Amino acid sequence: MDLILANRALVDHHAPPGGAGGPAPATGGLVEAVRPVLVPWDGAAGTTWIGAGRGPHDRAWTDDAGFELLETPAGPIRHQRLYLAEDDWRGHYAEVANGFFWPLLHLVRVDLPLKLAYYPTPEAPSDAAWSAYERVNRAFAGAALAASGEVCWVHDYQLALVPAMLREGGFRGRTGFFLHTPFPSLAVAESSLPPPARARFAAWLDGILGADLAGVQTEADADRLREAAERLCGARVEGPDLRLNGRLVRIAAFPAGIDADDLARQAPAGALPAAVPHDPALPLVVGLERADYTKGVPERLAAVSAAIAGGARFAYAGFSAPTRPGVPAYDALQAECERLASEASALAADRGLPFVQSREALAWSEVLALLREADVVFTASIADGMNLVPLQAVIAQSSRPAGERGVVLAGRDAGVSSAYAGFEDDGLVALDPLKPEASKRALLDALEGRPGRVSDRLVAAVRERDAHAWGRTFLGALDGA
Ligand code: G6P
């Protein structure tokens, strides 16, 4: 039996059994990447997903130990929810995971809190919050030890202490860890890592190094991880791997993918959201993401304004899905987006161009329709583990004839840009969202289909490197670790 450990449950229950409204599936890159690798539960074997019980009606669905069998399109999935004390969740999730690690992990090339007024400074966690983080990680490790299994695959920065805890607890199977975010550069993050914060970061990395295999998205992430492990944890680099306390920890890059077949099946059917103005005479520029300060939404809006001011003519539709309610660091981003969106909107109105920028979660069918119909899919992550939206866009576009497809833009520090380096002429173009003039230029070129539209070669590559291949490669490497 295999265990998947992720901070979030696969779905949250928003209604009691028999009540109206189905469960709400978790959204975001982690679940998109992991969902396709789950093995249905046949009564004795399959995947068991362990995640926090955060849905308002979760308890009514689970037994006393938090277990339930979830019916999913892929078959029944065995699921265990951990019910955590509210104080522990707040310290663990709001303070440690989102107040410290999330902004810190994205500091790969630029000291973003210095550069961008809306980007939060990673706050060194208080002792109380760090204890909560440890308790939550211990609860996950305890559940995995009790379930036992041949393989335990731990996901992301919220659960980094679990691999070492499993080792201490005598877990008999193999432990893999995967970081869905970037791994930061110590040099760039220097000012965010004064002594107390640095010690927390070192403890976090020590936890990860309890795994047999630690995977990251790109080779550059793997390099930065090795360097930090040498400097902070006393590990020795041996080829691609790390030696620590007499043990070898495998380190490798596994660029995440999407469920391309599933998306290709669904993409042709959906209809555009009603709010999107349809003007067949104008090309459509689309922006889609979680409303996160790593996604470059203000930078995209600025580029859109600059292009319109320069005389470019296009319709624009941007949708940012609300994320992490209650985490205060998101307020400054919201204010900046509103300011830039109202500027761009006024400019567009003045030129008679359709413009919508909305903070809302769309139906999946609407997301697919936007990605399919766009002439330019303009993602602009300032830093990102992978960013699956450009890959989803490529597959959605593939339902159109090759000559009529659009161009997909992605931030240069998103994993997708290094994983697909060499596909610029095939419709996936990297841009630097921190350079306004270059971003505007990239948008203008993309509107002209330059340097090339989404090609069959790119579509084939995205299909080949899909989520199933990602899961197989990771688990294969863990088997050999
Ligand atoms: C996105 C990121 C993941 C992260 C997840 C957490 O999916 O790509 O790296 O683990 O968000 O989301 P949450 O809503 O639980 O904070």
Centre a 10 Å sphere on the Cβ of residue 398 and count the other Cβ atoms it contains.
24
Residue 468, judged by CB atoms within 10 A of its CB (0-12, 13-18, 19+), counts as middle
Q: Which of 453, 379, 448, 388 is nearest to 415 (CA)?
A: 388
Distance 169 CA to ligand 1 centre (A): 27
Tokens of 358: 């909305």
Pocket of ligand 1 (CB under 6 A): 7-8, 28-30, 156, 180-181, 323-324, 385
Structural contact between residues 111 and 188, judged by C-beta atoms closer than 8 angstroms = yes
CA distance 150 to 37: 16
Tokens of 175: 């432990």
Structural contact between residues 157 and 179, judged by C-beta atoms closer than 8 angstroms = yes
Strands 24-25 and 67-72: unpaired
The reply to whether 86-257+467-479 and 260-464 are identical in fold is yes
Which segments of 84-209 does DSSP mark as H helices, in order? Answer: 86-89, 102-105, 112-115, 127-147, 162-168, 186-189, 195-208
Give the pLDDT score at 25: 76
Q: Concatenated DSSP letters for 234-266?
A: --EEETTEEEETTEEEEEEE------HHHHHHH
Structural contact between residues 273 and 360, judged by C-beta atoms closer than 8 angstroms = no
Which residues in the chain show pLDDT less than 50?
Answer: none
Structural contact between residues 442 and 409, judged by C-beta atoms closer than 8 angstroms = yes
- Give the max Cα distance, the chain: 68
For helices 389-397 and 456-464, what crossing angle results, to 10°?
Answer: 130
Q: What is the pLDDT of residues 128-144, one digit of tens each?
A: 999 999 999 999 999 99
Q: Which of 432, 434, 425 is nearest to 461 (CA)?
A: 425
Nearest protein CA to atom 3 of ligand 1, as residue: 30
Q: Which of 392, 289, 291, 380 is nearest to 332 (CA)?
A: 291
Nearest protein CA to atom 4 of ligand 1, as residue: 30
Nearest protein CA to atom 16 of ligand 1, as residue: 324
CA distance 383 to 9: 25
CA distance 175 to 231: 24
Structural contact between residues 278 and 370, judged by C-beta atoms closer than 8 angstroms = no
Q: Where are the domains of the chain?
A: 2-82, 86-257+467-479, 260-464
CA distance 195 to 193: 6
Radius of gyration of the chain (CA): 22
Centre a 10 Å sphere on the Cβ of residue 126 and count the other Cβ atoms it contains.
14
Nearest protein CA to atom 15 of ligand 1, as residue: 8
Nearest protein CA to atom 14 of ligand 1, as residue: 324
Distance 45 CA to ligand 1 centre (A): 27
Structural contact between residues 149 and 48, judged by C-beta atoms closer than 8 angstroms = yes
Give the pLDDT score at 1: 59
CA angle 136, 95, 219 (to 5 degrees): 80
Structural contact between residues 193 and 186, judged by C-beta atoms closer than 8 angstroms = yes
Across the beta sheet with 284-290, what order do the strands follow?
355-359, 315-321, 284-290, 376-378, 407-411, 428-431
Distance 245 CA to ligand 1 centre (A): 31
CA distance 180 to 155: 7
**Residue from 156, 258, 381, 470 whose mutation best tests the ligand 1 pocket (most atoms within 8 A of CB):** 156
Distance 30 CA to ligand 1 centre (A): 6
CA distance 32 to 76: 18
Structural contact between residues 207 and 101, judged by C-beta atoms closer than 8 angstroms = no
Centre a 10 Å sphere on the Cβ of residue 281 and count the other Cβ atoms it contains.
6
CA distance 478 to 475: 5
Nearest protein CA to atom 2 of ligand 1, as residue: 29
Residue positions counted in the chain: 481
Tell which CATH classification among 2.60.120.10, 2.40.70.10, 3.40.50.2000, 3.30.43.10 matches the domain 260-464.
Answer: 3.40.50.2000
Phi, psi of 268 (to 5 degrees): -70, -20
Find where tokens 């440690």 sit: 96
Distances (CA, A) of 210 to 137, 162, 175, 438: 13, 8, 8, 43
Nearest protein CA to atom 12 of ligand 1, as residue: 28
CA distance 466 to 63: 35
Peptide bond connecting 283 to the previous residue in cis, omega within 30 degrees of 0: no
Which ligand 1 atom lies nearest to the CA of residue 98?
Answer: 16
Tell which CATH classification among 3.20.20.370, 3.40.50.2000, 3.30.497.10, 2.40.10.340 matches the domain 86-257+467-479.
Answer: 3.40.50.2000
Note the Cα 70 to chain centre separation in Å.
Answer: 23
Which ligand 1 atom lies nearest to the CA of residue 155?
Answer: 10
Distances (CA, A) of 447 to 12, 273, 301, 372, 456: 40, 22, 16, 15, 19
Tokens of 295: 């996604």
Nearest protein CA to atom 11 of ligand 1, as residue: 28
Distance 6 CA to ligand 1 centre (A): 10
Q: Which of 93, 38, 98, 99 is nearest to 71 (CA)?
A: 38
